[in-house]
Structure 1
Amino acid sequence: MTLSIQFHQLTKQFGETIALWRAEEQFHPGDRISLLGHNGAGKSTLLHILATLTKPTSGTVTWHLDGEACSDVRRVRARLSFLSHEPMLYPDLTALENLQFINRLYRRGLSDSELVGLLDQVGMAIHKDRLFRTCSRGMQQRISLARALLPEPEMLLLDEPFSGLDGEGVARMKDVFTRAHTCWLMVTHHLQHGYELANRFWIMNRGRLVHSLHKSDLSYEAYLKLCQGSKMEARNS
C-alpha cells in the first residue's frame, strides 16, 4: 500500500494576508523531506493543508492511494499521521490510557504490552501510568510521537518535532525517524537535524516554495547558505 501527494498552485489567504502562494510539488513513498524557512514563511500552513486539516483558498491537492487518485478525506487520514505543536491527547488520561484509546479508535488490536513497547521506543515506558497533564513539554512530545506511530501510517507530517526536547529526547526522536519504515515531511528550524535526517529539502520564503532539492545534489555548506539566504535563524544544535 502506498500514499503519495501532489499539489498544484496551492494558495492560502487569511483575510488580506497571503500565507501560501502558488506552491507546487510532489511527495512520494521513500521521501524524507525537511521543510525549512523563517517564521511566517508558510511551512505550517502547507503542512496543515496536506494533513487535510485546512482547505486552501485556491489550487489543488491530489492524494494517490495505491496509484489511484482519492478524494475521500477519511481514507487519506487513515493512512497518515500528523504530529503538531500542540499535543493531541487527553490531559487527564495516563500515557498508556491515551494509547489504549487511540488503539481502539483505529481498531489496531494491539495488546497493552505492545502499546508499552511503543512508549519504550520514545523512552516513555517508565512513565506509562503518569497523567499526561503532569508530564513536561518534552515528555508530552515523545508520547505524542508514540500516538502518531500507533496507526502504522504510511506518511508522517511533523511540525517542529524537536520542540521542547532535551538531548536524550532529540536522540530518541532522531532514532525513530531514521528507523521508521514510512515517508515523512518535517517542519524544523534545526538545520543540522534537518540535513542529517532528510533525503530532500523544501525551502520556503514569504509563502513561496523557492527551493526543492535532493540531498545527493547538495553539500551541507551549500544547504546552510540556501537556508540562511531564505532568512532562517540557524540552529545547529
Structure 2
Amino acid sequence: MYESQLPPRTTWYGKLVLLHYISSLCIWLSVELLLLTYFLRLEKGKWPSITTIANTNPSEFWNYIRPFFQCGLIAQCLTAVYAFFDGQVKGALCLLALEQCIRVVAVYFTALPLLKGAVSLRALLIVVSGWTLLSILRCLDALYARKGSRHGILEWISHKVFLLLYPLIAFEELFLLRTSATLLQTNPLAREFPSRMPNIYNFEIDVYLIYNVLPFVMVPSALIFYCLKLRNRKLKDL
C-alpha cells in the first residue's frame, strides 16, 4: 500500500485512519521526549557524558520507556491491519506484515521483559531510537499524503533514514532473540507458555523452540522487505 492510496478523509473510515496516524505521531513524539528527559535528568538538565550513558542501568531505562514505546508498536501493527482491509497488502506482502507483527510481539513484549538487565544499553538505544525516528517520519509522510500532496524532501529523508536504520534494527532484534533463547535454555520453567500448572486451554508452547525457529523467518523477511523499499521508496512501511 502506498501513502497516496490512503482512504479519502471524507469517509468515516478515512477519518479513523487519520485519527490513527495523528495518535501514532503523538505517541512516538512522547517516546522521543521520554528519551531526552531520561538522559537529561541523569546530570540535572545537562546532556550526560558518554561515561554516564554507558553506566546507565538498561533495565531501568527500559522500564521508563516501555509503556509508550509498546503503545507505539501496537499502533504500527494496526497500520498493517488498515492496509490489509484496504486490499493493498496481498500475498507475499501480507505474510511480511504478519511476520513483522509476530517479531514485534516476540522481541518487545516477550524477549526484553525476559532479559531485563541482561541486554546492553547500546542494543536498547538502537532499537528504541531507530523505531521512534522511523515511525515519526512515517506518520508525517502519511499525514502529508492525507492532504493529497507529497513532501519530496520529507519523503527522501524518510527513505534514506529507513535504508540506514532498518538493517541495524533488524540485526539487534535478531541478537535479542538469540540472547533470549540462550537464557531460556538454562531456565526450563520459563520455556513453557502457559506454565506447566493446569490452565483452561490445556496446552503449552515451547518458547525456546519458537525463538530458535523465528530467526530463520526473520532474516529472509527482512531482506525481502528491505529490497522492496530499496527499489520503491513510496512503498508503505508494513
TM-score in terms of structure 2 length: 0.25
> Which of the two has greater strand per residue?
1
Q: Which has the larger radius of gyration?
A: 2
> Which of the two has greater helix per residue?
2
